[in-house]
Structure 1
Amino acid sequence: MKGFLLSCLCLLLLSTSLHAAKVDTLEILSPAMYRSFKCVVITPAAYDKDKTQRFPVVYLLHGHGGNYANWIRNVPAISGLADAYQMMIVCPDGNVGSWYLDSPVDSSWKFETYVGKEIPAYIDSHYRTRAQKQYRAITGLSMGGHGALFLAIRHPDVFGAAGSMSGGVDLRPFPRNWDLAKRLGTIEDHRENWNNYSVINIAYQLKDSVLALIIDCGVKDFFSNVNRNLHQQLLQQGVTHDYIERPGEHNWDYWSNSVLYQLLYFHRFFDKQETAKN
């Protein structure tokens, strides 16, 4: 399957090689945090050719210790997929370890507000997007996988589809890792925060078919168990979702392959919205 997908990708990239997508880096202000952060915005070549055409958007989040440029630097093929799938791809900055939360213990950290509300509003007001939730998706790796599901569940009016690649979907097993205590307080003193800000604990809010979901994780990833637990919970709730395990670890070899599947999933999701309209 992986070889077939890569072959299809090569054909898609070849077909769009004469009309390359445009990759811009800009700064987007967060009124909630009174500062700006950089962001990569990828627009397909058709964006500048047809000034009447509007495009769906995929928000692609980085992991802990990363930044806005990680995806385009490590997987430059995503710009070709923006062309092939006629979509915009937006890579916000979630700082080193925001976990895409509005921290309940540090009011200066409002990355749920920034990435979940302020950035989509900015992109919709400055670009020709299809500004309805059914044409807006969000996914990410590791910390960004958690962030994507967390934001999509908390803001069902903003996102119609969401994904996670190797996501830290349950924060509670990792109380000493990745700046989590700085964002949530220690688990001993603030256990309620750890419960309320873990994806697996808010997934009960999901109703079937309200949010299109794709979740994957490598079998040798240290987040594999928490992803399996989330999968089982969604099955018990009757929430339709795609769940994939494949060989792989918590690294760019895995994510550079995983993102191909996820962008295809979102492309098909956007196409279904068009079919339903016609």
Structure 2
Amino acid sequence: MNQARAFWLVLTLFFTTPVWAFQTGVVSIPSVAMRRAFDATIVLPDDYARGDHTQRYPVIYVLHGSGGDYTDWTSNAPIGRLADRYHVILVMPDGGHESWYIDSPFDPRSQYETYVGTEVVNWIDARFRTIAARQGRAITGLSMGGFGALRIALDRPGTFGAAGSISGAVDPRKCEDEPGIDRVFGDPAEHAAFWNSNAIVANAREFERDHIDLTIDCGVSDGFVTSNRALHQRLVELGVPHDYAERPGGHTWSYWSNAIRYQVMFFATSFRHNGWHRQSAQV
């Protein structure tokens, strides 16, 4: 789909829906890095269409987990109403089934960090009234997407001012048995240095250096809770400010649909603290 048609689709989806609630639509966002386009779900708050058209809005990018796609969050959790409550734009891009949201040196067809962290962000900023600055952007995700959100934020501190992880697979070294992970990370024995360098715990200090507002949570019955606790402990040892929570629950949509409410609230607070909650489009 070319950009002109994609933009027309945006207008059709978002301005033919009822104006009394948030508006949800699907757009096609091209990737130069991967030479194809991918769908994404976008949720606009109610007042985006019917409010002050000079207002710009902060954006929260929400990533799906392994085996999922761009429809997961809106299909399984009442995420749309959070756009209305906190006056934010929500963007849920497609990250592939087992991409881990990295630019794989082993699979040139899997360059999802560049896609999500640069190409999607630029496309959204060019077409919507966003606050196009790091203090007006946050990124989070579940499971594989939790790892991806933290990895992308660490590698692009000039793009994202806040980041989160929900039930995140924050240490890929503990996930060697995940189907397809070696396709993007390489053989864990032969390419151990690459696996080690991508573990979030190995880069924990950078969150403070880059002044990233950080929130992490995981269910107490989740298989990833041990690696999340290790990351939390490392952040504490380094004195890195962050929000950490464990709640009852496992690796399930019941947990994730509850956790996303707290994370969006955290990001909204971050936006307000940095003075970028909403901003006039006029200069």
TM-score scaled to structure 2, two decimals?
A: 0.89
Q: Map 1:1-278 to 2 at 5 A.
A: 19-49=20-50, 50-75=52-77, 77-207=78-208, 210-274=211-275
- CA shift, 1:23, in A, is 0.3
How far apart, CA to CA, are the structure 1 residues paired with 2:105 and 2:27?
A: 29
Identity rate, percent: 44
Query: CA–CA distance in 1 between the matches of 2:188 and 2:41?
Result: 34
For CA contacts below 8 A with separation 6 or more, give which structure has more relative contact order. Answer: 2
Residue 173 of structure 2 aligns to a residue in which SS?
coil
Quote the Cα distance in structure 1 between the aligned partners of 2:56 and 2:278. 16
- Deviations, residues 16-45 of structure 1 (Å, cap 9, x unaligned): x98211101010000111000000010111
Letter of the 1:54 partner, please give it: R
Preserved contact between residue 99 and residue 146 of structure 1 (Cα < 8 Å): yes
Secondary structure of the structure 1 residue equivalent to 2:274? helix
Q: Distance in 2 between matches of 1:110 and 1:165?
A: 22
Please tell me whether the aligned partners of residues 79 and 257 of structure 2 are also in contact (alpha carbons under 8 angstroms).
Answer: no
Letter in 2 for 1:117: T
Q: TM-score, normalised by structure 1?
A: 0.90
Q: Report the 3-state secondary structure (helix = DSSP H, G, I; strand = E; otherwise coil) of the residue aligned with 1:274.
A: coil
> Whole-Å Cα distance in 2 between the matches of residues 126 and 263 of structure 1?
23
Aligned AA (1:36): A
Segments ≥4 residues shifted beyond 4 Å? 275-278
By how many angstroms is 1:90 displaced? 0.2
**Which residues of structure 1 form unaligned runs of 5+?**
1-16
Deviation larger for 159-168 or 202-211: 202-211
Q: CA deviation at 1:204?
A: 3.0
> Secondary structure in 1 aligned to 2:267?
helix
- 1:272 shift after superposition: 1.2
Question: Which residue number corresponds to residue 10 of structure 2?
Answer: none
Q: Is the 8 A contact 1:43 1:88 kept in 2?
A: yes
1:211 Cα deviation after fit: 0.4
CA distance in 2, matches of 1:251, 1:168: 14
**8 Å contact from structure 1 (residues 209, 240) kept in 2:** no
> Unpaired segments of 5 or more residues in structure 2?
1-17
Per mean C-alpha deviation after superposition, the further-off stretch among 258-267 and 43-52 is 43-52
Give distance in 2, aligned partners of 1:188 and 1:180.
13
Report the Cα distance in structure 1 between the residues aligned to 2:163 and 2:251, rounded to whole angstroms. Answer: 20
User: Take 2:162 and 2:114, find their aligned partners in 1: how far apart are those partners?
Assistant: 18
Distance 1:219 1:151, change over 3 A: same
Q: Show CA shifts across 1:35-58 (max 9, x none).
A: 000000101111112221110000
> After alignment, is 131-140 or 41-50 more displaced?
41-50
Q: Could you say if the C-alpha distance between residues 141 and 275 of structure 1 is closer, same or farther in structure 2, counting changes exceeding 3 Å?
A: closer
Shift of 1:277: 11
Shift of residue 274, structure 1, vs aligned partner: 2.0
CA distance in 1, matches of 2:246, 2:137: 25
Deviates more, 1:197-206 or 1:146-155: 197-206
8 Å contact kept, 1:101–1:111: yes
**Does the Cα contact within 8 Å between 1:137 and 1:159 map onto a contact in 2?**
yes
SS in 1 for 2:130: coil
Relative to 1, partners in 2 of residues 1:105 and 1:187: Cα closer, same or farther, differing over 3 Å?
same
Q: Deviations over 1:64-96 (max 9, x none)?
A: 000000000101x22111011110000000010
- How many angstroms does 1:276 deviate by? 10
1:104·1:193 contact (CA, 8 Å) conserved in 2? no
